[in-house]
Amino acid sequence: MRTQRQVVDYALQRRALLAQVYAGRVGTMEVCDANPYLLRAAKFHGEPSEVTCPVCRKEPVTTVSWVYGDELKHASGSARAPEELARMANLFEEFTVYVVEVCRTCGWNHLVLSYVLGSGGLDTPKTRRRTAAE
């Protein structure tokens, strides 16, 4: 999405945790603890990914985007489909999106990415055009 900013990638933390799991230092019960709410969100608002579940390797993980922000009021803390995120990015100045991957087979779940969306803080097209013309 073109208004994404303050992107934080959690790939390192994910890899470190998985290394612990593969080494047997962290049990799969501890990391495959997706709660019913998350599984339900994955079913209704999730997007299929091309990443195979790193724990059970039975199916690709589903990614779920959670939105947080004061401006969102009651909608803060809910899961949203990609098309809704695009619409919300135009409606609100600023809100944070947390992308979580979840395996609907074994319950593995981990934060993958977070970023800020919204219409606030962007250069207006007019400013950019003037700069380009000079």
For binding to Zn ion (CB under 5 A), which residues are involved?
53, 55-56, 103, 105-106, 108
Closer CB to Zn ion, 49 or 96, in the complex: 49
Smallest gap from Cβ 38 to Zn ion, in A, equals 13
At its nearest, how many Å lie between Zn ion and the CB of residue 23?
A: 18
In whole angstroms, the minimum distance from the beta carbon of 83 to Zn ion comes to 26
Closest distance to Zn ion from the beta carbon of 56 (Å): 3
In the complex with Zn ion, the residue whose CB is nearer, 56 or 86, is 56
Nearer to Zn ion, 29 or 133 (CB): 29
Could you please report the per-residue DSSP string of 48-111?
EEEEEPTTT-SSEEEEEEEEE-GGGGGGTTEEE-HHHHHHHHHH-S-EEEEEEEE-TTT--EEE
Cβ-based nearer residue to Zn ion, 45 or 110: 110
24: left (phi over 0), alpha (psi -120 to 50) or beta: left
* 69 CB-near residues (< 8 Å, 6+ apart): 76, 92, 94, 95, 96, 118
